[in-house]
A = this chain, B = another copy of it.
Amino acid sequence: MSDFAKIGAAVIGTGFIGSVHLQMLRRLGVDVRGVLGSSPERGAQAAASLGVAQAYAGLDDLLADERVDVVHVTSPNHAHYPQVKAILGAGKHVVCEKPLAMTSAQSAEMVEIARASGKVAAVCYNIRFYPLNQQAHGMVRAGDLGEIRFVTGHYHQDWLARPTDWNWRLRSEMGGALRSVGDIGTHWVDLTSFVTGLKAEAVMAELATFIPERQRPKGPVATFSSGAGETETVAIDTDDAAMIVIRYEGGARGVMSTSQINTGRKNSLQWDVAGSKASAAWDSETPDHLFIGHRDRANETLMRDFTLMNPTGTAAATLPPGHVEGFGDSFHAFFRAVYRDVAAGGRQEGSTWATFEDGHYEMRFCDAVLKSAKEGRWVRLDEI
């Protein structure tokens, strides 16, 4: 970790996920030079409460800081596109929260800009960096599962299960036309694409809004806090749940669902990949266990264990086996991989963090899902 103290970072956004970025950068020993809030006042307040040395007055101020090498973008989705362009334009590396952009036209342009810049440009698909997901990626590459045939799973939550649950993401004009697909479904899409190496050729999707009207607080409300006081009834047009059937290039098939209304499921991402030799499955709520399914011998449960994992799995692990690694550790492993490449001057052969190309693929996938659901038909990604 010796080089990391020499790398300067700044974080845009001071919400929950911004604080996770900050904590994990500090854990790595990166020199976090400052934060940028949604306003100078908020930034200053956050800097004080988080113990960060400075709050930038604005993006220009941040970009002018010559000791900042890497900028983390955790601002609202609509800000990603202009901020990332400015950051890369200023010659800095960037780590951008998902989704990469608001439209696939934007993300297509960002791919080009990133490519031209030669800088590290990563998208925060942190779930890849649970070591056993890296392990599964390595297993597929090595042919351990044979030819991939069938990919199934889901990403289910319950935090929007009640008509009185409110969040800005519920409104399409704020969070985009896709909600459960955009917020959590894209994690599943990125993860399974990473594990299997497969890309979707076409999708058939159905979206459902089970709670067509919700109670919006009239006053301001922060995420995860219940608003007291008066509410008003608002019509909802974003998806509480989605069902997506996938035809992958090369003949594999998949099916998955998303939901934000499945009571009792807090953050349940599961994938199951069946290959011609063996299968594998993983559950985000018990991330240190990987199921490996066999036909001709007993099934296996591989624990996150550096004496038993392949090189990609081992590289992402930090703790001895049985000392559970969690959500925070996945960011730690992700940033460690990114900063190694920053220290090396750019993405290295064999790096496994999500690129802007990956982020753009997820944007196109979402566009195809939306089109399919609206038109009730199969939509090819090359239509997008």
Contact = CB atoms under 8 A, between A and B. Distances in A.
Given A266-B305, A324-B284, A326-B329, A295 B158 contact: yes
Interface stretch (A92-100, A166-174, A313-321, A351-359): A313-321
Interface string A245-256: 101000101110
A208 B28 CA distance: 41
A72 to B, nearest CB: 15
A16 B320 CA distance: 10
A149 B288 CA distance: 27
A245 B292 CA distance: 27
A368 interface: no
A293 interface: yes
Interface stretch (A74-82, A111-119, A273-281): A273-281
A99 to B, nearest CB: 19
Nearest to A50: B1
Given A161-B295, A284-B324, A326-B319, A255 B243 contact: yes
A29 interface: yes
A279 B305 contact: no
Interface size of A as a range: 35 or more
A263 B154 CA distance: 19
Contact of A51 (B4, B149, B245, B297): B4
Contacts of A261: 149-150, 274
A378 B378 contact: no
B322 A285 contact: yes
Contacts of A326: 288, 319, 323-326, 328-329
Contacts of A340: none
A266 B150 contact: no
B27 A27 contact: yes
A238 interface: no
Contacts of A267: 320-323
A240 B253 CA distance: 11
A51 B210 contact: no
A266 B321 contact: yes
Contacts of A297: 300, 308
Interface centre among A24, A268, A324, A376 (most CB of B within 10 A): A324
Given A265-B322, A299-B301, 17 more contacts: A1-B49, A1-B50, A149-B241, A161-B274, A210-B253, A243-B254, A245-B245, A262-B272, A263-B274, A263-B275, A264-B278, A265-B293, A266-B305, A268-B322, A298-B300, A299-B302, A376-B378
Q: Which 10 A-B pairs have the closest CB atoms?
A: A264-B293, A267-B322, A266-B322, A5-B51, A326-B326, A324-B326, A323-B327, A29-B51, A243-B255, A266-B321
25 contacts: A23-B28, A24-B27, A26-B29, A149-B208, A152-B154, A152-B257, A204-B206, A204-B245, A208-B253, A210-B276, A243-B245, A243-B254, A245-B245, A263-B293, A263-B294, A264-B291, A264-B299, A284-B324, A285-B303, A286-B324, A296-B307, A298-B302, A318-B328, A324-B327, A326-B329
